[in-house]
Structure 1
Amino acid sequence: MTSDTTPHDDLPRMGQGLFWQDLQVGQRWRTFRRTVTEADLVAFINATGMLEAIFIDADHAGGAIPGRPVPGALTYAFIEGFILQSMIQGTGLAMLELHQKILAPVLVGDSIEAVVEVTGVRPTSKGNRAVVSSLITVFNQRREPVMEYTAVRLLAGRTAT
């Protein structure tokens, strides 16, 4: 087996996100779906310190939500992980603004996915980046919306060759 030491800069990068020039208002994508597990909940509350009784006590009597609810921040983090791994990997420069609405609880055992719709693309004066707005709607396995948020991000553009 020989080792190829020549530069590979001309090869497309696997998993590369979209440049702002690839986007147009109205484009939509669906993320993968993921089931939220008890281990996810425990790891998240331990990492964040969100030690609220409804998250750490499976038999909490004072909870208004039946089942094992998870923090909205966990739902958001999972969906942003999908978006990062697919749409903005290597091209996302900054999250500029975020407006979020929690529409329904997500419970341990629920499977979540999202629809991402581009709602705005505004190139900056430099031209090598743009402000991209999107509406992200998160659904559970019953196709009920559980979260909706708008994200305004700074995305890189293609460099001139």
Structure 2
Amino acid sequence: MTTIDGYEVLGLGLYFEDLPVGRKFRTIGRTLTEADLVNFIGVTGMTEVLFSNVEFLQQESDIKQRVVPGAMVYSFAEGLLVHATMQHTGFAFLNMQLDVKGPTFAGDTIHVECEVVESRRSESRPNRGLVRSFNQVKKQDGSVVLTYNPLRMVKARAFA
């Protein structure tokens, strides 16, 4: 427990020791709004007509709804995880594989289901651990829209 001026600090991340292989958790949900989509397109410059032109969607696309870029789904999923698990304890994002499984649309609500699949002490930095998780991003209907497996360097409470 971390305290500042006698108060317990809430919202701090999980330590290496809190993330053994097999641990599972999920985030809260987050609805991806039209405003989120417009802002993401503006910030990233992803002005592809699939994301930015409703007339194109209605006339030419197989997808008729406001589709959300996979990059946005991933970014929002990471936001849900970072806020809940990595404040002050997450030190490096090392690599991952990512697979988009299905479409996500403006108005969908996503959450992340996470399972720790690798957890080991860092050989070069004994006060750190390396943790890989398998993350499934799911929509409100339970369908999986994106999976990824990040490897992160995480703070440890104690030296090996």
- Whether these two folds match at TM > 0.5 is yes
Report the secondary structure of 2:150's partner residue: strand
Q: After the TM superposition, which parts of structure 1 deviate over 4 Å for at least 4 consecutive aligned residues?
A: none
Counterparts of 2:71 and 2:37, CA distance in 1: 11
- Within-5 A mapping of 1:1-161: 8=4, 11-60=7-56, 61-125=59-123, 126-159=125-158
Counterparts of 2:73 and 2:43, CA distance in 1: 15
Q: Residues 84-141 of structure 1: CA distance to partner in whole angstroms, max 9, x if unpaired?
A: 0011111000100011000001001111111011111110123210110000001111
TM-score, length-normalised on structure 2?
0.91
Residue 63 of structure 1: how far off its partner (Å) = 2.0
Counterparts of 2:61 and 2:120, CA distance in 1: 44
Compared CA separation, residues 94 and 39, structure 1 to 2 (3 A): same
Structure 1, unpaired ranges of 5+: 1-6
Is the helix fraction higher in 1 or 2? 2
Structure 2, unpaired ranges of 5+: none
Number of aligned residue pairs: give it: 154
Report which stretch shifted further, 14-23 or 54-63: 54-63
1:152 maps to a residue whose letter is: L
Report the secondary structure of 1:64's partner residue: coil
RMSD over aligned Cα, in angstroms?
1.6
Q: Residues 36-82 of structure 1: CA distance to partner in whole angstroms, max 9, x if unpaired?
A: 11100000000000000011111213322220101101101111001
Counterparts of 1:18 and 1:74, CA distance in 2: 25
Counterparts of 1:93 and 1:9, CA distance in 2: 25
2:103 maps to a residue whose letter is: P
Larger Cα Rg: Structure 1 or Structure 2?
A: 1
